[in-house]
Amino acid sequence: MATINGKEYPQLAILKMTSQLRTLMTIIRNKDTKRNDFIFYSDRINRLLVEEGLNYLPTREKVVQTRTGETYVGSEFVGKICAVPIIRAGLSMQNSIREVAKRIRIAHILIQRDEATAKPIFFKDWLPDDIENRFVFILDPMLATGGSANETIRSLKLKGVGEDKIIFINLVAAPEGIEAVLSAYPGIRIITAEVDQGLDENAYILPGLGDFGDIYFGTD
Ligand code: PRP
Ligand code: URA
């Protein structure tokens, strides 16, 4: 649960702004940060995000015997998962989720914002046949108008994925995007590292960091 501009969003989780996270966010937002540092530090934040995402997966009780001969009442994850990076910037989060989930399937969805209108254009997706039986982590570092995320969720729902099985992992969000996604799909979860002030006239996030995909992949 988080509150943005006085509105409560039960399905929104924002990472605790620790001194570490503030420092990492400052590095990736700084226009003078070199590309290799941008990649290294945004990967660090992505790792914190996917670790937090795992906390929303269901678990069941599991009892084990320890090497002392005693019993430990613990837990284990229930269910299979699939990550869906939104190409292209979402690809930057793929390795972080592979590092924490060994048997994860990685699907992809190719959506690009039209630069003139900021509207999402869907090109293609590659999704496993059994995706409706999996918990799905949508990966995209930028949530601006929410158009790309909503197009992705629409595709997943058409394949039978329930909203309660969708977790959107995001690095920087605009309030407009959060409202657009959670009003359209109130059953999904969003996990983000920071919520910014809003959008500029070109639907870029302010203060934001610029075009994430261009910086990360070296096309700026
Ligand atoms: C960026 C970003 C999101 C989208 C966010 O991608 O990675 O997918 O814009 O904006 P929205 O919430 O208004 O839809 P873009 O289409 O620019 O392509 P890129 O990943 O190649 O940078
Ligand atoms: N995509 C980005 O990379 N940055 C923004 O601020 C908005 C969309």
Residues 6+ apart with CB under 8 A from 54: 77, 100, 101
Query: Distance, CA 149 to ligand 2 centroid (Å)?
Result: 12
- Give φ, ψ of 172 to 5 degrees: -130, 130
Q: Is 93 in the pocket of ligand 1 (CB under 6 A)?
A: no
Give the separation between CA 112 and CA 97, rounded to whole angstroms.
Answer: 22
97: part of which helix (H) or strand (E)?
helix 94-100
Of the pLDDT bands very low, low, confident and very high (cuts 50, 70, 90), residue 129 is very high
Find the mean pLDDT for residues 37-47: 98
Of the pLDDT bands very low, low, confident and very high (cuts 50, 70, 90), residue 195 is very high
Enumerate the H helices of 123-208 as residue ranges. 147-158, 175-184
Q: What digits encode the pLDDT tens for the residues 71-119?
A: 999 999 999 999 999 999 999 999 999 999 999 999 999 999 998 999 9
Which residue in the list 88, 113, 134, 189 is annotated as catalytic? 113
Of 79, 16, 10, 93, nearest to 50 by C-alpha is 93
Nearest residue (by CA) to ligand 1, atom 21, is 88
Q: How confident is the model at residue 146, as a pLDDT? A: 98
Closest ligand to residue 213's CA: 1
Q: How confident is the model at residue 189, as a pLDDT? A: 98
Q: Which domains does the chain have, with CATH numbers?
A: 16-59+77-217 (3.40.50.2020)
The answer to whether 154 is a known catalytic residue is: no
Q: How confident is the model at residue 78, as a pLDDT? A: 94
pTM: predicted TM-score of the whole model, two decimal places: 0.97
Round the average pLDDT of the chain to a whole number and report it: 97
What ligand 1 atom has the least distance to the C-alpha of 87? 20
- Give φ, ψ of 34 to 5 degrees: -75, 155
Strands 189-195 and 108-113 turn out to be unpaired
Closest ligand to residue 89's CA: 1
Q: Is 118 in the pocket of ligand 1 (CB under 6 A)?
A: yes
Q: How confident is the model at residue 100, as a pLDDT? A: 94
